[in-house]
């Protein structure tokens, strides 16, 4: 084999390797965009819902009414708290228009599905515009994602994770 042919083969091999690395990197980059920044916390809360002690380890001080503080907040979300000991909830940032709220709702839904892929699935028969439901594999907990209008007139997305059976 001539040196020039070997050089060409090495160049081709390097190109293939570089292309493969680039594609893998790109895939990881794309995947990283789908998996949200709050995925770790969400997985933690979702996992606790299925344990024997439920949310006991992350429930904080009592607030007004039936609300309690949460020791775990989803990154980028606000006002994460518990309603009683069985319902965890967080609000997104506020949006000026309903359209922005609806777009954010769709995005959050995709992010949550991506984050909990495999263990949670959408219940399409329960969905309405601006409202979606996911159940865990054992049907013992639910996540709902809905839109709401705040006192300030801002449109927000709200995530609620709750235990189903009483």
Partner 1 sequence: MLSPETSLARGAPVWPLFAKELREILSGRALWTLLLLACPLVGYSFFQAISLYAEASAAAANSPVLATSLSPLDGILVPTFGSFYVAVTLLFPFVAIRVLGEEKQTGALRLLVQLPYHSATLVWVKLAAVFFAWLLCAIPVLSSAVIWWIAGGHLSAAEIVTLFLGHLLYGLLIGAVALFAASITESSATAAIVTLAFTIGSWVLDFTIAGRPGWLEWLAHLSLTQFIRTFEQGLLSGSLVAGAVVAVCTFAALATVWLPPGIAVRQKLMRSAVCVGAAAVTLVVVAQIKASIDVTEDRRNSFALADAKQLAGLAEPLAITVHLAPEDPRYVDLQRNVLAKLERVMPRISIRLAAGRQSLASSAGDEAYGEIEYRYGARSDTSRSTSPREILPLIYELAGVPRPAPIPSAEFPGYPFVLDGAFAVLWFVVILPILIVLAWWRSRRLPSGNPMFLKEVAMNSSTKTLLIIAVSVVAVLLPAFAEPVKVDLTNETAGAEPKGMVPVVGVWRIENDGGKKLLAVDGRQWKEGQSSAGIADKARALYGERYAEFLDRVQAYAYYPYVVAKDVEDFKNGEITVRFEGLSGRIDQGAGILFNLKPNGDYLTIRANCLENNLVLWKFEKGRRSSVEWVRNTPTATRQWHDLKVRIAGNKVEGYLDGKLYLQHTLPQPVSGKIGLWSKADSYMHFDDFTVVASE
Q: Which residues bind partner 1 (CB under 8 A)?
A: 64-67, 83-84, 87, 89, 91, 125-131, 144, 146, 148-149, 151, 158, 160, 166
Please say which residue, 17 or 149, places its beta carbon nearer to partner 1.
149
- Rg (Cα) of the chain, in Å, rounded? 22
Output the smallest distance, CB 28 to partner 1, in A. 36
Please say which residue, 52 or 166, places its beta carbon nearer to partner 1.
166
**Exposure of 50 by Cβ count < 10 A (0-12 exposed, 13-18 middle, 19+ buried)?**
middle
CA–CA distance, 54 with 49 (Å, rounded to integer): 5
Output the smallest distance, CB 63 to partner 1, in A. 10
Dihedral sign (CA 76, 35, 69, 86): positive
Output the smallest distance, CB 68 to partner 1, in A. 11
Please say which residue, 119 or 122, places its beta carbon nearer to partner 1.
122
Please say which residue, 106 or 158, places its beta carbon nearer to partner 1.
158
Output the smallest distance, CB 61 to partner 1, in A. 15
Q: Is 43 within 8 Å of 134 (Cβ atoms)?
A: no
User: Between the CA of residue 16 and those of 7, 11, 27, what are the distances in Å?
Assistant: 14, 9, 16
Output the smallest distance, CB 133 to partner 1, in A. 9
Please say which residue, 5 or 61, places its beta carbon nearer to partner 1.
61
């Amino acid at each position: 084999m001539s040196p020039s042919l070997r050089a060409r083969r090495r160049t081709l091999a390097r190109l293939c390797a570089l292309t493969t690395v680039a594609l893998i990197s790109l895939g990881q980059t794309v995947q990283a965009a789908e998996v949200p920044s709050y995925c770790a916390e969400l997985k933690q809360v979702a996992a606790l819902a299925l344990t024997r002690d439920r949310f006991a380890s992350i429930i904080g001080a009592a607030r007004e009414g039936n609300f309690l503080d949460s020791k775990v907040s989803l990154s980028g979300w606000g006002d994460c708290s518990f309603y009683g000991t069985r319902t965890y909830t967080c609000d997104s940032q506020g949006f000026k228009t309903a359209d922005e709220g609806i777009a954010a709702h769709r995005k959050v839904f995709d992010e949550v599905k991506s984050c909990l892929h495999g263990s949670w699935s959408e219940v399409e028969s329960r969905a309405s515009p601006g409202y979606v439901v996911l159940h865990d594999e054992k049907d013992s907990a639910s996540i709902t994602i809905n839109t709401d209008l705040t006192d300030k007139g801002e449109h927000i997305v709200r995530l609620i994770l709750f235990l189903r059976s009483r």
